[in-house]
Amino acid sequence: MSITEKYSGVELTTAGNVYFDGKCVSHDFVTADGVHKSVGVVLPAKLTFGTSKPEVMECVAGGCRYLLKGASEWKTCSPGEMFSIPENSGFDIEVADEPFHYICHYG
Amino acid sequence: MSITEKYSGVELTTAGNVYFDGKCVSHDFVTADGVHKSVGVVLPAKLTFGTSKPEVMECVAGGCRYLLKGASEWKTCSPGEMFSIPENSGFDIEVADEPFHYICHYG
């Protein structure tokens, strides 16, 4: 599994997004071909995220366990792996020791 | 004071940097003209950073108080403002309520 380590030619928003009192911090960017994404870090915690649009969470470092809304089985996500969340849905995420570094793909 | 809200044409590193158990999270990028910078967030905390190279911390949202190494007076830094730290030095930073969103300029 290859890890997406860098994006070139992006427009980066300098102010970050802070969720759950900082347990998750991310920065938005727009790719060279105009697609909105974000890079972020989830610190050790157990959180629940909601989605309005479909999202794909791609792990670039660290790892997590996640439980998609309505699912009954927790799964793991390691560097190079990703998981999809439908629109108007959500997921629980559990980060244990090492923070979960991710790219969020929207739409 | 104008705020640097976006950078275009940058190369963004997807994995973040996590300092002080997540009290500070940042992402590195290289500008279109090849200069290394980072964008980051300092959560409410009192931290001490060291510098090897000279740095300029530019506030893009939130704010902080800072005390340069060897200085006797705390100063404030608000959106659009910045402060310089010499090489091989450091600074104390105190973030109260709203996280401090910054760009770090190196060298």
Burial class (CB in 10 A: 0-12, 13-18, 19+), A67: middle
The answer as to whether A1 is a domain residue is no
Report the number of distinct structural domains present in chain B: 1
**At A1, is the pLDDT very low, low, confident or very high (cuts 50, 70, 90)?**
confident
Residue of B nearest to A41 (CA): B16
CA distance B17 to A102: 12
pLDDT, average across residues A13-23: 98
Interface touch A41/B9, C-beta < 8 Å = no
- Give the tens place of pLDDT for each residue, B80-89: 999 999 999 9
Distance from CA of B50 to the nearest CA of A (A): 22
- 3-state DSSP call for residue A20? helix
- Give the tens place of pLDDT for each residue, B4-55: 999 999 999 999 999 999 999 999 999 999 999 999 999 999 999 999 999 9
Distances from the Cα of A77 to the Cα of A42, A57, A66, B100, angstroms = 13, 9, 8, 30
pLDDT at A51: 96
The answer as to whether B3 is a domain residue is no
Q: Residue B35 sits in which domain range?
A: 13-106
pLDDT at B6: 98
- Give the tens place of pLDDT for each residue, A37-92: 999 999 999 999 999 999 999 999 999 999 999 999 999 999 999 999 999 999 99
Q: What is the DSSP string of B14-46?
A: SS-EEEGGGTEEEEEEE-TTS-EEEEEEE-SEE
The answer as to whether A6 is a domain residue is no
Q: Collect all residues from A whose CB is shorter than 8 A from any CB in B.
A: 3-16, 18, 21-23, 25, 27, 29, 39-41, 43, 60-61, 99, 101, 103
pLDDT at B11: 98
The answer as to whether A5 is a domain residue is no
The answer as to whether B5 is a domain residue is no
**At B1, is the pLDDT very low, low, confident or very high (cuts 50, 70, 90)?**
confident
Identify the CATH number of the domain in which residue B87 sits.
2.60.120.10
Interface touch B9/A7, C-beta < 8 Å = no
The answer as to whether B40 is a domain residue is yes
The answer as to whether A43 is a domain residue is yes
What is the ipTM metric for this complex?
Answer: 0.96
Instruction: From chain A, pick out residues whose CB is under 8 angstroms from the CB of B10.
Output: 9-12
Interface touch A22/B40, C-beta < 8 Å = no
